[in-house]
Amino acid sequence: VAPHLPPEESLDPADWESFRALGHRMLDDMVTYLRTVRERKVWQAVPEEVRARLDEPVPWDPAPLETVYDQFTRDILPYPTGNIHPRFWGWVLGTGTPVGMLAELLASAMNPLVSGHDQGAAVLERRVIAWLAELLGFPPGTSGLLVSGASEANLLGLAVGRNARAGFDVRAEGLHGSGHQALMIYASEQTHGWITKACDLLGIGRRGLRWIPVAPDHTIRLEALARAVCEDRAAGRRPCCVVGNAGTVNVGATDDLAALAGFCHDEGLWFHVDGAFGALAALAPALAPAARGLERADSIGFDLHKWGYVPYEAGVILVRDEAAHRATFGERQSYLHDAGRGVARQPLYFADLGVQLSRGFRALKIWMSLKTQGAASWGRVIEQNVRQARHLADQVRRHEELELLAPVPLNIVCLRYRLPGLSDTELDGLNQAILIELQERGIAVPSSTRIDGRFAIRVAITNHRSRLEDFDLLVRSVVAIGRELAGVTTSAG
C-alpha cells in the first residue's frame, strides 16, 4: 500500500448496528405517522423560523444521522402538502399506501438501474406492464413503460403517434424546414395543460394544436372534431393524432372514447387517450361502461400515483403497436452492446421505449400493491370515491346556501357557497376566501377552478382514506366559514 495515499473510505455506516437501530426507529416513526394521519391538520404553512433554519450553508462537515433525522422530524415532516390526509382533495393528488412506502425502501436498498439488463427489476417491470395492459383490455404484446407521470406518458404517446402518422421519417428529417405538410393534433378544450408542453416539445407548436369545443357535459364535440379535420385537410395540413380524455381535470368528464376510436380508425389518425386518473375507472364494474373504447386506443397515458393510490412517481404509457413504440425511441449505442448473455442482455429494453436512460425501480411498489391488495381493490376503492363524490354533490344540491357548478360524472365536485344578493364577482371573492380558510385552518384541502367563468371550490377524490363523514364536515365548514366571512348572523343549521 502506498504510504502517501489517504485511507480509502466508503459511504457505508461506520457502525452498522447503531445504523440498524436508528433505521428501526425511523420505520416505527413512519408507521405511527401514517397510522395517526387523521389526527393532524391536513396542512399548515411552513413557519418563517423553520424556513430560516433550513436556509443553511453547504454542510462541509459531517453530522450524525440521528441529528439530521431530528431536524427532518422537526422541520420537514410536519409540513407536507397534506395529500396523505383523508381530507385532501386538491388538484388530483394521490395518497400512497403503507405497503408502497415499504416497497420504496426495498427498491432503494437494491438501487438498480432499470434501463434493461438481465435482472429481476426488469423482469418485474415487464410483468407489471403486461398486467396493466390486460387490466385495461389491451391485447397481449402491448408495449409499455413506467414513467414519471401522465405528463411524460402522454408526451411519449403523442411522440409515437406523430412519428407513426407523419407520412415521412420525422427522426431522420426533423420538422424544421422539412417542406412537409404541417402536422395537426386535436384535443378537447378541456384537455389538461400537458398537451401544450407536449406540442411545443414535439415541434407541432401551438399552431398545430386544435382545441375542439365541448358539449355541456364537458365531452368533446365529435362533429366539431370531424369539421376541424376536414378543414385542415382542405387547407393542405396533415391531421395526425386525436387525444381523447378519460376523466378531464376540471370535472372528470370522459369523452365518447368508442366514437373517437371509430373516427380515428376511419380517418387513419392515431388515437391517444389521456387517462391520467380516469382510465382506472375502467376497473370498476359500475364505471366501466363510461370508459368503453379506451381499450381501442393506439396509446394511453395514465398514473398509478393518482387513482391507483401508489406512491409517487408511477406514470404509465401503453402503446398497442410495439414496433411503432420502438421506432420512435430505439437507439443503438456501441458502448451499450447487447451481449445476448450475461448482465448486458437487452441492456436498453426500457431505454428504447422512452427518453430516460438511467431510470429507477418503479415496478416494485406497483407489483407489491397489486399482489397484496388484489387487483380488484382498485375498482372497489375507486367506486367508493365516486359514491363519496355523489354523496357530496347531493349534500350540495340540498343546501340552499350551496351550489353545484358542474356535472359530477366521476369523482370531481365543483361547488360554491352562495348568498342571495351577491354578484358573481362577489361570490368569486367570497369562495376564494373560504377555500383559503379551509386550507389554513387545516380542515380540508380542496383546490379551485373556474366553471363558465365562475370560481369553484373543486373537490377531486382520489383518496382511499376519505370517509363519508369527511365530506359532511366539509359541507358544514364551507357553510360556517361562508357565513362567518359574509357576516351572516344566523343560528340555522
Ligand X SMILES: Cc1ncc(COP(=O)(O)O)c(C=O)c1O
Interface residue list for ligand X (CB under 6 A): 91-92, 149-151, 192, 194, 247, 249, 274, 276-277, 303, 315
Q: What is the C-alpha to C-alpha distance for residues 350 and 326, in angstroms, rounded to an integer?
A: 10
Closer residue to ligand X in complex, CB, 310/435: 310
CA-atom Rg of the chain in angstroms? 25
Supply the minimum distance, in Å, between the C-beta of residue 317 and ligand X: 11
475, three cell numbers: 359541507
Q: Is 220 within 8 Å of 273 (Cβ atoms)?
A: no
152, three cell numbers: 411524460
Q: For ligand X, which residue has the nearest CB?
A: 149
Q: What is the C-alpha to C-alpha distance for residues 135 and 280, in angstroms, rounded to an integer?
A: 9
Supply the minimum distance, in Å, between the C-beta of residue 467 and ligand X: 23
Residue 152, amino acid? E
Supply the minimum distance, in Å, between the C-beta of residue 155 and ligand X: 9
**What does DSSP say about strands 88-89 and 445-451: parallel, antiparallel, or unpaired?**
parallel
Closer residue to ligand X in complex, CB, 170/212: 212
In three-state secondary structure terms, 274 is strand
Q: What is the C-alpha to C-alpha distance for residues 408 and 21, in angstroms, rounded to an integer?
A: 50
In three-state secondary structure terms, 393 is helix
Supply the minimum distance, in Å, between the C-beta of residue 147 and ligand X: 9
Q: What is the C-alpha to C-alpha distance for residues 218 and 383, in angstroms, rounded to an integer?
A: 21
Supply the minimum distance, in Å, between the C-beta of residue 304 and ligand X: 10
In three-state secondary structure terms, 312 is coil
Closer residue to ligand X in complex, CB, 250/395: 250
Helix (H) or strand (E) holding 316: strand 315-319
Closer residue to ligand X in complex, CB, 194/367: 194
Closer residue to ligand X in complex, CB, 170/456: 456
Q: What is the C-alpha to C-alpha distance for residues 301 and 310, in angstroms, rounded to an integer?
A: 16
Supply the minimum distance, in Å, between the C-beta of residue 448 and ligand X: 14
Closer residue to ligand X in complex, CB, 151/431: 151
Supply the minimum distance, in Å, between the C-beta of residue 26 and ligand X: 28
Supply the minimum distance, in Å, between the C-beta of residue 149 and ligand X: 3
b/e code 39-64 from CB counts within 10 Å (16+ = b): eebbbeeeeeeeeeeeeeeeeeeeee
Closer residue to ligand X in complex, CB, 246/348: 246
Closer residue to ligand X in complex, CB, 89/277: 277
- Which one-letter DSSP state was computed for residue 440? H
Closer residue to ligand X in complex, CB, 92/294: 92
Position of cell 454542510?
59
CA dihedral 476, 479, 485, 491 (to 10 degrees): -90
Supply the minimum distance, in Å, between the C-beta of residue 194 and ligand X: 5
Q: Is 240 within 8 Å of 166 (Cβ atoms)?
A: yes
